[in-house]
Chains A and B, each alone.
Chain A
Amino acid sequence: MSELTISTIQKPISNRRDNLVMLSRVANSLYWMSRYIERSENIARLLDVNLQLMLDFSDLNDQQLKDHWLPILCSAGDEETFFKLYDKADSETVTEFLTFREENPNSIISCLFSARENARQVRDQISLEMFETLNECYLFLKSKNAREVWQTGAHEFYEQIKKYSHLFQGLTGSTFTRNEGYEFINLGKFLERADKTTRILDIKYHILLPSVADVGGAVDTAQWQAILRSASALEAYRRFHVEDILPKKVAEFLIFSNTFPRSIMSCMRHLDEDLHRLSGKERREYRSNEERSFGKLLSDLNFLTIDEILNSGLHQFLEKVQATLDQLDDHIYQEYMYHPPVDLESEIFLQQQQMQQQ
């Protein structure tokens, strides 16, 4: 009997009996709560910036509008679902799809509803202040008021969404205990943020490739400026470079900056620290192949230059980062959150046998 049962233990039994023990389900909820909030903030900023950018262009035809919005749609959502719901991609449809459509699992409303649902699952783990903020946000989005605010002034609406996220992340820093849960919240936040920064940068790859005459022109500059603002990086960039907005410098800044907290480099360094804190391994020691390829990418970043990246293709580089982050996400799930489900039938069989032996 005991042979049977021991063989079904998938993981070593922990000897830890301190308060640091964390349910796998709880870890999963904290991680996704955090990812969804970060995601909603990024989408809000992306839409806000691009709506404002469009104000500088008048008389765009349908094709031009589509050319502008489609890459944004691709970076933040699901194109296929979109065209099931709408005929054409313009400011109105794309922003509505990415803001209010519950059919779109990555719309702001879907993200924040999921974040709140995850928070509710771990109501006992997070601080009252954190829950209240998220709950207020949920009640706001559920009310009719939300759409009215959006229709009368989209900017105010997106400001509000960003504020909820800022407030939530700030409260997490000031009210959440520094335990394992904090690492999962951080992993969710930085993984999402790194991923979104790659996508924001990639947008320019899609709308980029302008005719030669446009490079360095007013349109080009405006677009690069929008990229920076979408990553909340315009002021930081200006302070750092104090010169014109140059495509190469923008890409360099968003990939390599050591000091700007939304650059890919900064996010990955945070991820590296949190991964090590979780696994308890020494620095530069990694727990699995996924962690190792993540570590490899991080050290690549330490030695690569922007010229090398541009020469071998910015888009390809960004795709590689995204793939590595996806693997890491899967690794975190497998390592910390997944327990194989109980096979109820064999379980019943086993336990019925045990009952008879008594």
Chain B
Amino acid sequence: MLTEDYKTENFFDEMFTEEGGVRPHYQKVAEKLKALDPDEHRRKQTAVDLAFMRSGVTFTVYNDDQGTERIFPFDLMPRVIPDTEWQRIEKGLIQRITALNLFLHDIYHDQKILKDRVIPPHYILGAKHFRREFMGFNVPKDIYIHICGTDLIRDRQGNYLVLEDNLRCPSGASYMLENRAALKRAFPDLYRSARVHPVDSYSAELRKVLQYVAPPSLPSSQPNVVLLTPGVFNSAYFEHAFLARQMGIPIVEGRDLVVRDARVYMRTTSGLVPVDVIYRRIDDDFLDPTVFRPDSLLGVPGLVNAYRSGNVSLANSIGTGVADDKVVYYFVPKIIKYYLAEEPILPNVDTFLASENEDRLFILDNLEKLVVKSANEAGGYGMLMGPWASQEEISTFRDQIRANPRNFIAQHPISLSRHPTWCSSDEGGRLEGRHVDLRPYILYGENISVTPGGLTRVALRKGSLVVNSSQGGGSKDTWVLNGDS
């Protein structure tokens, strides 16, 4: 199926070297591809898509009153990572989450890092997601970030760089698990012969993390853990239901919970039942209308009080958003050095801060060459891709940056690595290079574990660098090999 005219075109290709040779860890995949004919591939792809649609592995399209559900497009060709490479990634991710967790403890307690002038205090104290209400508050087991999804990309030389830390409610783990199940069904022989690290333990690990952080005052040894979802109309509802099912815990909405005497209960057919740990998939702002947004109908009145009283644990903790602010991202290498006295294993992308005078002048002069990001947006929103943007978009961003420099950062466009990806018949019906990133999932409980692999997201549109599902992105199964070839 692999055609002779596949081009790497001056990008780092995950599968092929610049000279066009297959990298050693892709040998097995290449052999399979050679033997696979396009019709068979099409049949397998259709079968996978149908299975996803049938079992409801879908996300809801917003702003569509038909309630349209789509599948997250899944490309059958796996992304492969050799063992040695993965071990370095794993070390880097553990280093990063350790430092960020120490950082969160520090800024909600003594703020040494600010007093030592490693980070100018105004960046933290003025951050949108800094929760001053939680100064001096001790979170259970001193863990702030229980679940983390870090976005990694590779530059033209193939170096892994951190693009973004997602420390609030990272999503996508269910797709990592569903993609793996689908790929095993589609290519059982290839999967077996490639000797891939399994990912199935994610849900069990997550459950252990949640149980581990239960309030210490708890009389019972079996904490009641629940997953708090915004509800069935949220785009990630499938994931919430999936994870709850995998862990065997109830999935609840805000209206199912009630707080009495600083204790959280769920409303059941046999009365009120105490809740000990909440894996919340709603943002801080919506958690409790009596403390944060008063108009929130998704949260639980009194929840924050119960949390402060130590009667219920939340994962992730309140206030972690300050550490994935894109301005704070700029300081993460310094944060790692400050708390761990180590060099960062996974470097950042070079970043300019619009609130620093020199940087701002550079950004404003070079808008058409840079990627500009809002400090607190996610999902590919609030972004300017300079080289591809219209004059109008550029001038809008110029005004916004001048008006509120704290809210913007800029980076040189990184030519994300590419991966052979099946392009449907209206785009030629063959394998072509498409840009990919990688989101591994890190769990922090009694110890820190990184699920081998993660979610590889792929920008399906030709030339596009945006991998978000809301904007034409798809995904791949990600294989970490038991060895290097």
Contact of A128 among B55, B238, B294, B302 (CB under 8 A): B55
> Known: A2-B261, A8-B260. Contact between A336 and B269, CB under 8 A?
yes
> Known: A25-B253, A123-B56. Contact between A348 and B271, CB under 8 A?
no
Complexed CA–CA distance, A120 and B229 (Å): 13
Proximity bits, A132-166, B CB within 8 Å = 1, else 0: 10011001000000000000000000000000000
B273 at the interface (CB under 8 A from A): yes
Complex interface residues of chain B between 236 and 285 (CB less than 8 A to chain A): 237-238, 241, 244-245, 248, 250-253, 255-256, 258-262, 265-274
Residues of chain A lying within 8 A (CB to CB) of residue B261: 2, 5-6
Residues of chain A lying within 8 A (CB to CB) of residue B255: 25, 341
Contact of B54 among A6, A124, A135 (CB under 8 A): A135
B53 at the interface (CB under 8 A from A): yes
A11 at the interface (CB under 8 A from B): yes
Q: Is the CB of B56 within 8 A of A23?
A: no
Contact of A337 among B54, B258, B269, B274 (CB under 8 A): B269
Most A CB atoms within 10 A — which of B222, B238, B251?
Answer: B251
Q: Is the CB of A27 within 8 A of B305?
A: no
B125 at the interface (CB under 8 A from A): no
Q: Is the CB of A23 within 8 A of B250?
A: yes
Contact of A23 among B54, B55, B267, B294 (CB under 8 A): B267
Proximity bits, B374-397, A CB within 8 Å = 1, else 0: 000000000000000000000000
Q: Is the CB of B251 within 8 A of A12?
A: no
Residues of chain A lying within 8 A (CB to CB) of residue B301: 342, 344, 347-348, 351
Contact of A17 among B245, B272, B273, B290 (CB under 8 A): B273
Known: A14-B268, A22-B270, A25-B253. 15 other contacts (CB 8 A): A9-B260, A13-B271, A17-B222, A21-B266, A23-B266, A24-B256, A25-B267, A121-B232, A123-B251, A135-B56, A336-B269, A344-B301, A347-B290, A347-B301, A354-B262
A302 at the interface (CB under 8 A from B): no
Chain A's nearest CB lies how many Å from the CB of B78? 24
Q: Using a CB–CB distance below 8 Å, which chain A residues touch chain B?
A: 2, 5-6, 8-9, 11-14, 16-17, 19, 21-27, 117, 120-121, 123-124, 128, 131-132, 135-136, 139, 180, 278, 336-337, 339, 341-342, 344, 347-348, 351-352, 354-355
The 5 A-B pairs at the shortest CB distance, nearest first, are namely A123-B241, A14-B271, A11-B271, A124-B244, A336-B269
Complexed CA–CA distance, A132 and B50 (Å): 11
B101 at the interface (CB under 8 A from A): no
B217 at the interface (CB under 8 A from A): no
B289 at the interface (CB under 8 A from A): yes
Residues of chain B lying within 8 A (CB to CB) of residue A180: 269
> Known: A17-B220, A23-B266, A352-B290. Contact between A131 and B56, CB under 8 A?
yes
Residues of chain B lying within 8 A (CB to CB) of residue A14: 268, 270-273
- Closest-by-CB residue of A relative to B58 is A135
Complexed CA–CA distance, A51 and B384 (Å): 62
Residues of chain A lying within 8 A (CB to CB) of residue B56: 120, 123, 131-132, 135
Most A CB atoms within 10 A — which of B238, B270, B274?
Answer: B270
B470 at the interface (CB under 8 A from A): no
A-B contact pairs, 21 of them (CB 8 A): A6-B260, A8-B260, A9-B272, A11-B271, A11-B272, A13-B265, A13-B272, A14-B271, A16-B270, A17-B274, A21-B266, A21-B269, A23-B256, A24-B268, A25-B255, A139-B53, A278-B269, A347-B290, A347-B301, A347-B302, A354-B262
Complexed CA–CA distance, A354 and B305 (Å): 9
B224 at the interface (CB under 8 A from A): yes
Residues of chain A lying within 8 A (CB to CB) of residue B262: 354
Q: Is the CB of A21 within 8 A of B270?
A: yes
Complex interface residues of chain B between 32 and 86 (CB less than 8 A to chain A): 53-56
Residues of chain B lying within 8 A (CB to CB) of residue A131: 55-56
Chain B's nearest CB lies how many Å from the CB of A120? 6
Residues of chain B lying within 8 A (CB to CB) of residue A17: 220, 222, 224, 273-274
- Closest-by-CB residue of A relative to B224 is A17
> Known: A24-B268, A344-B301, A347-B301. Contact between A16 and B54, CB under 8 A?
no
> Known: A17-B224, A124-B250. Contact between A351 and B305, CB under 8 A?
yes
Residues of chain B lying within 8 A (CB to CB) of residue A16: 270, 273
- Closest-by-CB residue of B relative to A280 is B270
Residues of chain A lying within 8 A (CB to CB) of residue B260: 5-6, 8-9
Complexed CA–CA distance, A25 and B273 (Å): 14
Q: Is the CB of B54 within 8 A of A21?
A: no
Complexed CA–CA distance, A24 and B268 (Å): 5
- Closest-by-CB residue of B relative to A13 is B272
Contact of A24 among B232, B269, B274 (CB under 8 A): B269
Q: Is the CB of A123 within 8 A of B272?
A: no
- Closest-by-CB residue of B relative to A335 is B269
Complexed CA–CA distance, A5 and B262 (Å): 10
- Closest-by-CB residue of B relative to A117 is B232
Most B CB atoms within 10 A — which of A8, A131, A354?
Answer: A354
Residues of chain A lying within 8 A (CB to CB) of residue B265: 13
Complexed CA–CA distance, A341 and B254 (Å): 12
Complexed CA–CA distance, A14 and B259 (Å): 15
Complexed CA–CA distance, A123 and B251 (Å): 9
Residues of chain A lying within 8 A (CB to CB) of residue B244: 124
Contact of B256 among A12, A25, A128 (CB under 8 A): A25
Residues of chain A lying within 8 A (CB to CB) of residue B253: 25
Complexed CA–CA distance, A19 and B256 (Å): 17
- Closest-by-CB residue of B relative to A142 is B66
Complexed CA–CA distance, A128 and B56 (Å): 10
Residues of chain B lying within 8 A (CB to CB) of residue A347: 290, 301-302
Chain B's nearest CB lies how many Å from the CB of A344? 6
Chain A's nearest CB lies how many Å from the CB of B184? 16
Q: Is the CB of B272 within 8 A of A344?
A: no
Complexed CA–CA distance, A22 and B267 (Å): 8
Residues of chain B lying within 8 A (CB to CB) of residue A23: 250, 252, 256, 266-269
Residues of chain A lying within 8 A (CB to CB) of residue B305: 351, 354-355
- Closest-by-CB residue of A relative to B276 is A17
Complexed CA–CA distance, A115 and B325 (Å): 42
Complexed CA–CA distance, A2 and B260 (Å): 9
Complexed CA–CA distance, A336 and B270 (Å): 7
Q: Is the CB of A339 within 8 A of B267?
A: yes
Residues of chain A lying within 8 A (CB to CB) of residue B273: 13-14, 16-17, 21
Residues of chain A lying within 8 A (CB to CB) of residue B232: 117, 120-121
- Closest-by-CB residue of A relative to B222 is A17
- Closest-by-CB residue of A relative to B300 is A342
Complexed CA–CA distance, A19 and B273 (Å): 12
Q: Is the CB of B294 within 8 A of A348?
A: yes
Residues of chain B lying within 8 A (CB to CB) of residue A132: 54-56
Q: Is the CB of A22 within 8 A of B268?
A: yes
Residues of chain B lying within 8 A (CB to CB) of residue A22: 268-270
Complexed CA–CA distance, A135 and B232 (Å): 15
Residues of chain A lying within 8 A (CB to CB) of residue B55: 128, 131-132, 135
Complexed CA–CA distance, A344 and B255 (Å): 11
Contact of B269 among A19, A27, A348 (CB under 8 A): A27
- Closest-by-CB residue of A relative to B302 is A351
Proximity bits, B130-153, A CB within 8 Å = 1, else 0: 000000000000000000000000
Most B CB atoms within 10 A — which of A124, A132, A352?
Answer: A124
Residues of chain B lying within 8 A (CB to CB) of residue A11: 271-272
- Closest-by-CB residue of B relative to A349 is B290
Chain B's nearest CB lies how many Å from the CB of A132? 5
- Closest-by-CB residue of A relative to B247 is A124
Complexed CA–CA distance, A339 and B270 (Å): 11
Complexed CA–CA distance, A139 and B261 (Å): 46
Most A CB atoms within 10 A — which of B255, B260, B268, B301?
Answer: B268
